[in-house]
Amino acid sequence: MLRAQRRQEILNAVRSGSAQVAELATAFGVSEMTVRRDLRDLEQEGKLTRVYGGAVAADEPSFAEVVVERLDRKSRIGAAAAELVRDGQTIMLDIGTTTLQLARHLRGRSVTVITSNLAAYEELLPETSVELVLLGGVVRRNYRSLVGVLAEDALRQLRADVAFLGASGIEEDLSVLDSTMVEAPIKRAMLASATRSVLLADSAKFGMRGVARVCGADELDVLVTDEGAPGDARERLERAGVEVITA
């Protein structure tokens, strides 16, 4: 493979979320040193941002940027979702800024939280009533999450009463999408390991896109959203058996 072609493929991998140096070296049959040089040159061209062990897309917004977007809606959704949790339950908490708001409304509750969300973990760490289970895996610093085979393997060994998921977008056919391919297997594993599934998505997510399909409406039990969610989509979700809660 020519260097220019390899670098384009590296950019494609970074944009889809698979950007660890070791994985890229194996995928392209080159040394890790070669991959690091490619990442250095691509960063100098402004096409990506290097992080420890790999790289992220240069245009990927940071967690700190996203967390303040539509904060009032997300807080109301988080509060409504917290009302679905009973003391003594075990829940799984997906990555994202809306699930972080749910974590904030679980302070002082007697629950077990299994999560790949480092921001939620930090939020609940001082709460001695909350038992925290942090999944292993590769740290995505830019989005403060844990991904990879270690996280996926851990989820296969665990069970929960409820999985609370975030999403990058909800398509016209009600498919739940994620913008980062490396996160999708974690979401699917949470769905498979929980008795009940709850999607947290503010109204802006309807019509937004992603690169990876996580699930369809048939795999959801509840959607918690805000009053701006399209009425036709809510009706179709309810017809599909999904309880829609408007925060």
Domains 3-57 and 65-246 share a fold: no
Q: CATH second-level architecture of 3-57?
A: Orthogonal Bundle (1.10)
In this predicted structure, the answer to whether residue 18 has a pLDDT above a threshold of 60 is no
pLDDT(48) > 80: no
How much is the pLDDT for 180? Answer: 78
Residue range 65-246 in CATH 3.40.50.300: no
| pLDDT, position 245 | 98
DSSP the chain: --HHHHHHHHHHHHHHT--BHHHHHHHHTS-HHHHHHHHHHHHHTTSEEEETTEEEETTPPPHHHHTTTTHHHHHHHHHHHHTTPPTT-EEEE-SSHHHHHHHHTTTT---EEEESBHHHHHHHTT-TTSEEEE--SEEEGGGTEEESHHHHHHHHT--EEEEEE--SEE-TT--EEES-TTTHHHHHHHHHHEEEEEEE--GGGBT---SEEEE-GGG-SEEEE-TTS-HHHHHHHHHTT-EEEE-
pLDDT at 103: 97
Taking the domains of the chain in order of start, what are their residue ranges?
3-57, 65-246
pLDDT of residue 46: 63
For the whole model, what pTM was predicted? 0.77
pLDDT band of residue 59 (cuts 50, 70, 90) is: low
> What are the pLDDT digits (tens) for 93-113?
999 899 999 999 999 999 999
